[in-house]
Amino acid sequence: MSSSTLAPAERRGSDYARLSRRVAQAGLLERRPGRYTVRIALTLGAFLAGWAAVVAVGDSWWQLPMAVAMAIATTQVAFLGHDAGHRQMFRRRGPSEAAGLVAGNLAVGLSYGWWVDKHNRHHANPNHADEDPDVGAGALVWTYEQATATRGVNRWMARRQAWLFFPLLLLEGLALHVASVQALLGREPDGRWRVPMRHRAVEGVLLVAHAVGYLGLVFAVMSPAKALLFIAVHQGLWGLYMGCAFAPNHKGMPMPTADDDLDYLRKQVLTSRNVHGGRFVDVALGGLNYQIEHHLFPNMPRANLRRARPLVMAYCAEQGVPYAETGLVESYRQALAHLHEVGRPLRAA
């Protein structure tokens, strides 16, 4: 879990290049527009059909099951935004950004520009406490150093964070909306924008359109009490689903530091974990369960990740690079064990 678990390795720039050639020769880096056309149509179709069903159900307590269904549909749309951000759908930037803005800002209420900036930094230095924003200190802490630096309520939470992990994910949806607005409006003291965005005005318009459309529809078809409960269930379960989709990927895996001399292949493989479980897990996690392949080849279409897995696994075996893969439940156990261990010094104090 710390850098000490990472065996020192000489920098071998050609290791990744050889793997990349094998993958390219297998045709796995080629875009699959037909497959994505079907996926987009089915996902957005289900999303829009869900909202039509919400309108049809009207002011009824049956809206609570609808909120659960819409949390699932919303996360699946967010996965499309993820794929667009990596240009898995289209080679050209324009169509990729258009798809990302529609899926992220308009449909989900998540700033596409903010997310791409944050996610690219994660991919550049996965699980690096000083470089990866996904393991920076926040409501949860990921290293002993982050834990010992906590104070007050944060220290209380750090002691118990393994138990609080899933309850806190119920707030993740709200946190993503707030972070999107902050990124859109935030400036540095010198006036520079805090987060770079190519289409800031468009993103703002689409986020407002999402908020007006979402709140307007919910309050138009339900009483205020049912509407508020629908929003709480929908947003809470969306955040929980998103967190559960991303948590198995790196949490509990080695966390390199600036002292570790890792080439690109090892930096990506050693910090990532695959999750097996068949087609159901593939769909439920949006292909992110092939996290090793995704990190090695971020532009690879989602449907090709499963096919790339045996090539990558065999190559890692040739190079003596550990390839981590486990089941879904075990991946959560490992992530929670890491959180519990990080809080141990605070519990012992």
Contact 1, 252 (CB under 8 A): yes
Residue 317 CB burial class (10 angstroms; 0-12, 13-18, ≥19) = exposed
**Residue type (1 letter), 338:** H
pLDDT string in tens for the chain (349-residue length):
433 344 444 444 589 999 999 999 999 999 988 889 999 999 999 999 999 999 999 999 999 999 999 999 999 999 999 999 999 998 888 999 999 999 999 999 999 999 999 999 999 999 998 999 999 888 999 999 999 999 999 999 999 999 999 999 999 999 999 999 999 999 988 889 999 999 999 999 999 999 999 999 999 999 999 999 999 999 999 999 999 999 999 999 999 988 888 999 999 999 999 999 999 999 999 999 999 999 999 999 999 999 999 999 999 999 999 999 999 999 999 999 999 999 999 988 7
Report the C-alpha gap between 83 and 61 in whole angstroms. 35
| Sign of the C-alpha dihedral computed for residues 191, 86, 294 and 174 taken in this order | positive
Within 13 Å of residue 103, how many CA atoms lie on the same side as its CB?
A: 30
H helical segments located in 58-199 = 63-85, 93-101, 112-124, 144-148, 152-159, 161-169, 172-185
Q: How much is the pTM?
A: 0.92
Rounded CA-CA distance 344/96 in Å is: 44
Query: CA-based Rg of the chain, rounded to a whole angstrom?
Result: 21
d(CA 328, CA 277): 7
Helix (H/G/I), strand (E/B), else coil: 327: strand
